[in-house]
Amino acid sequence: MPYFIVNLDKLHTSDSGAARIKRNLNLQTDDVVLWCKESVKQADIIIGQGKNVYVYKNGVVITINAQSNTIITAHPINAKVRIMETSDYVCLPEFLYQAIFIPEGVEPPPRNIINDPQIFAYIKDFGTQPGDLGVVAEQNGQVIGGAWTRIIPSYGHINDETPELAISILPEFRGYGIGTKLMKKLFVVLRADGYARTSLSVQKDNPAVGFYKRLGYRITEEKLDHAGNEDFIMIKDLK
């Protein structure tokens, strides 16, 4: 992703732009430009795309014209969810890496951890086998998360009729309902393909356990994975 620096001194907007932003975000302040400048300073991530720069902060995206430094609009993150296409497969290594649970205070593993055959199996030759199904979330033209299934002899495998889930949202975009949207779309895709259940494996300590329960998964088994982590196997009935 290309990253951009915003010229804070030159940042401005029109009266209609300020009114639109106030309305979209229900802002109480009259100094919308100042509010935007503060958001830029504390941004979670700033992404350049075409002629625009997108500033993300606390679930809000501010659109700035990079050439004129005009704040065009701002609104809550509103990611679009769609079926994963072949052209999205290039994102799978990043999504696989981001799907690895890192407990608080623990150093992230090296990126080449995904080359471990047991982990790489989740994406190796994706799209070539029955059960290879996926959805992605897109925000302002950037793919920022994905959920996909496979039937492989891996951690969350329960039988050859049940696709196993993997999911991740890029860190800056977590906690804004995008994962929930992705999962609901994936369930529709799995049902349409005739699957009766879907399974997953998740570390007991991962806050995603609550997320899965909310989406209708139930814990069916507890076991140790090859690295000695305590995992839950969870299953969701799709019928």
Looking at beta carbons only, is 98 or 162 nearer to ligand COA?
A: 98
Query: Least CB distance from residue 192 to ligand COA, whole Å?
Result: 22
Pairs from 54-61 (Cβ < 8 Å, separation ≥ 24): 54/139, 54/140, 55/6, 56/172, 56/173, 59/175, 59/176, 60/25, 61/139, 61/140
Query: Least CB distance from residue 212 to ligand COA, whole Å?
Result: 8
Identify the DSSP state of 99.
T
**For residues 41 and 17, what is the distance between their CA atoms, to the nearest angstrom?**
20
Looking at beta carbons only, is 17 or 134 nearer to ligand COA?
A: 134
58-67 burial, b at 16+ Cβ within 10 Å, e below that, comes to eebbbbbebe
* Distances, alpha carbon 155 to alpha carbons 137, 189, 210, 226, in Å: 25, 22, 19, 9
Query: Least CB distance from residue 91 to ligand COA, whole Å?
Result: 13
Partners of 197 in the β-ladder: 237
Q: Are 76 and 25 in contact (CB under 8 A)?
A: yes
Looking at beta carbons only, is 35 or 95 nearer to ligand COA?
A: 95
Question: Which residue in 70, 140, 142, 206 binds ligand COA (CB under 6 A)?
Answer: 206
| Subset of 164-203 contacting ligand COA (CB under 6 A) | 167-169, 174-180, 200, 202
Question: Which residue in 208, 217, 235, 236 binds ligand COA (CB under 6 A)?
Answer: 208
Q: Are 221 and 199 in contact (CB under 8 A)?
A: no
Query: Least CB distance from residue 83 to ligand COA, whole Å?
Result: 18
Q: Are 190 and 163 in contact (CB under 8 A)?
A: yes
Residue 197 host element (H or E): strand 197-203
Does residue 103 belong to the site contacting ligand COA (CB under 6 A)?
no
Interface characters, 63-102, with ligand COA (x: CB under 6 A): -----------------------------------xx-x-
Query: Least CB distance from residue 57 to ligand COA, whole Å?
Result: 15
Instruction: Tell me the pairing of strands 197-203 and 52-57.
Output: unpaired
Does residue 157 belong to the site contacting ligand COA (CB under 6 A)?
no
Query: Least CB distance from residue 236 to ligand COA, whole Å?
Result: 13
Residues at the site binding ligand COA, with contacts judged by CB under 6 A: 98-99, 101, 167-169, 174-180, 200, 202, 206-208, 210-211, 214
